[in-house]
Amino acid sequence: MLATSGVLRLAELRRSAANEQALGVEGRAAAGSYWQTLVLHVALHTVPLVEVVALRRRARLPWLWAGLLVGTNALRWWSIASLGTAWNTRGAVPDRLPVVTTGPYRFVRHPNYIAVALEFPAIAMAGGAWLSALVLSGLEVPVLVERIRKEEEQLLSHPDYRAAFARRKRFIPRVF
């Protein structure tokens, strides 16, 4: 499961690089914290494994966590497919923003970040690495908050985006 997640992440990086090059995007949301995102995602694919082996952890309810992981990856790839060539890992917003209101974006503004937030505990807990789940999730929260804040600054500067998403919630439809 961990290997599959890692392979999918590498595929995302490759697709993102191609999309960024095709768009010719220069500005990036939270560019200063991109390295933190990379470090956390590498840690997510290594630290839980070390915890499981070193501390002889055993998964509790592994099918629950595996199911959540499958769901997060499905949501992520649905988000990626919906955004098409505008999607990238750096939060780069093209000058001529193609506003996407289909797929999961018809419900919330940031479905991909929902997937990221849920996959951190899911990957770790699938192997029983509860300490990794707590620590890595806790470290990911401020990085995601900063990235979303910066990305929304860029997105909301586009009138079409502002009009399309003015009444759409960030994460949970019809809540907050």
Between CA 41 and CA 48 the distance in angstroms is: 11
* Fold category of 2-165 in CATH: Four Helix Bundle (Hemerythrin (Met), subunit A) (1.20.120)
pTM of the model: 0.87
CA distances from 139 to 33, 44, 115, 148, 176 (A): 12, 11, 16, 15, 24
Between CA 27 and CA 153 the distance in angstroms is: 12
Residue 69 has a pLDDT of 93
pLDDT of 106-153, one tens digit each? Answer: 999 999 999 999 999 999 999 999 999 999 999 999 999 999 999 899
Domain limits of the chain?
2-165
Percent of the chain predicted with pLDDT > 90:
61
Q: How many residues does the chain have?
A: 176
